[in-house]
Structure 1
């Protein structure tokens, strides 16, 4: 949306406050400079408005580096999980021996097999 030079800012429906009101709001927070804050000034402005623990966590998790690291950790975890199921599957007797089983089937079969082995030892 382009403004003509003679069009007033008051005509805009999205304008909610005038620049003086915004400047007064900045002055009340201690950030009075018209120029972008740098170094200690920026730290001072941010220090006066501390972030909650949840907000800090949310901002940290929003970074691409964090998401990439999290995805890598998750892939490693799932791969280890699948390897453990494959090893357990090799220990269970089934007919045919190469039958593909789901994870829940592997767990149920392992429970039955352990019960059977306990029964054999008890007799």
Structure 2
């Protein structure tokens, strides 16, 4: 290793005997920030940071992969239950042909008409 004229072997020796984290911290010096750093995560703590609002905490919690995955699972279950309910309602409605594919709005409209028809039959 070549030394520059202004470096001594003792300067280099102290670098090789230190752990890498100490060397990085020495190199950074005060370049990034004078604020203290959080130990393991390496995030900078702000001394004057206000506590998080309830909405901000909610946003941060919802931004996690675990939360998004759980939410997606709950949504799939909800949509599946919704589709099962429409399928059961569809089975109760008379149509020609009986196996005709209907959209959800068509199922609802047909159900309204069928209920009105049944009410009319009961009133007569």
| TM-score normalised by L of structure 2 | 0.65
Structure 1 gap segments, 5+ residues each: 1-18, 27-32
Matches of residues 78-117 of structure 1 in structure 2 within 5 Å? 78-117=79-118
Matches of residues 41-80 of structure 1 in structure 2 within 5 Å? 49-80=50-81
Higher relative contact order (CA 8 A, sep 6+): 1
Deviations 1:77-104 (A, max 9, x none): 0000000000000000000000000000
Aligned pair in 2 of structure 1 residues 47, 79: CA closer, same or farther (>3 Å)?
farther
Matched residues in 2 for 1:107 and 1:79: separation? 17
Structure 2 gap segments, 5+ residues each: 1-29
Deviation of the 1:118 alpha carbon: 0.2
Aligned pair in 2 of structure 1 residues 105, 22: CA closer, same or farther (>3 Å)?
same
Number of aligned residue pairs: 92
Matched residues in 1 for 2:73 and 2:114: separation? 35
Deviation of the 1:54 alpha carbon: 1.2
- List, as ranges, runs of 4+ consecutive aligned residues in structure 1 with deviation greater than 4 Å: 19-22, 44-48
Structure with higher Rg: it is 2
